[in-house]
Amino acid sequence: MTQDLLGILAEAQDGAFGVGKDQRIVFWNRSAERILGHSASEMLGAFCYEAFSNSSSEQQGVVCQPDCRTISLARTLKVDSTYSIRVATKQDGPKWLSVTHVLIPSDKEDLGVLAHIFHDVSEEMAAKTLVNQLRDWVPQQPATTVPAPSTTNNRPERLTPREEEVLRLLAAGMNTAQVANKLVITTTTARNHIQRILSKLEVHSRLEAVVIAFREGFL
């Protein structure tokens, strides 16, 4: 069973790596290499807390260190909750990752492998940070500040109530799958909403969409 599950993870689009109970990395898939820039040959055998020593998180208790919360739970056959963590990459600077954990059992009375499955959420985290900065900044503006006039012709096309709802969720830092889950729609439908939002606002990224939405008063 262990090899079957690792085989599935090896071909996954999400990054994945696995550690044993001693926190040594025993598995590292190609998507992990693509996202983080480190090859399997560089990472296998390393302690995860050394490989991710420069990581940080907004969530309490999420830190890469010996006997961390995640591995401590795994040693009692429990799984940590999903969290976001900022890690260094080999070439592209730091990235925010959303990390989910899966315990892969062993035939022996042992931990087996604790798989960390992750994807890049840097854009969502940047949007969330920007939203917080804008919320802090807007009330501090002088009362005499007057918005620049805009005409109907140069304003972005108005969003539908559903698109505004999707945009608010993106501004809160949600990814496509989370938006779909929150609104009880398929990921395809959520993706279509997001593409229509980008098209209407004439932007190329979710971050740009959030900025435009705040500027035009959509949020």
Residue range 27-81, pLDDT digits in tens: 999 999 999 999 999 999 999 999 998 888 877 777 889 999 999 999 998 989 8
The CATH number assigned to the domain with range 123-140+148-216 reads 1.10.10.10
Residues 55-66 as b/e (b if ≥16 CB within 10 A, e otherwise) read bebeeeebebee
- Residue 189 CB partners (closer than 8 Å, separation 6+): 180
Task: Say yes or no: domain 2-120 is CATH 3.90.79.10.
Answer: no
Q: Which residue has the higher pLDDT, 158 or 195?
A: 195
Average pLDDT for 201-214: 74
Percent of the chain with pLDDT over 90: 38
Q: How far, in Å, CA of 156 to CA of 134, rounded? A: 20
CA 111 to centroid of chain Cα atoms: 27
Higher-confidence residue of 210 and 28: namely 28
pTM: predicted TM-score of the whole model, two decimal places = 0.62
Delimit the domains of the chain by residue range. Answer: 2-120, 123-140+148-216
Query: Rounded distance, CA 72 to CA 78, Å?
Result: 9
Contacts of 159 by beta carbon, 8 Å cutoff, 6+ apart: 167, 197, 200, 201, 218
Give the model's pLDDT for residue 4. Answer: 66
The pLDDT tens digits for 176-198 are: 999 999 999 999 999 999 999 98
Helices marked H in the chain — which ranges?
A: 2-10, 30-36, 40-43, 48-51, 69-75, 122-137, 161-171, 176-183, 187-201, 206-216
Is the model more confident about 136 or about 178?
Answer: 178
Q: How many helical (H) and strand (E) elements, i.e. helices and strands, does the chain have?
A: 10, 5
Q: How far apart are CA 6 and CA 9, in angstroms?
A: 5
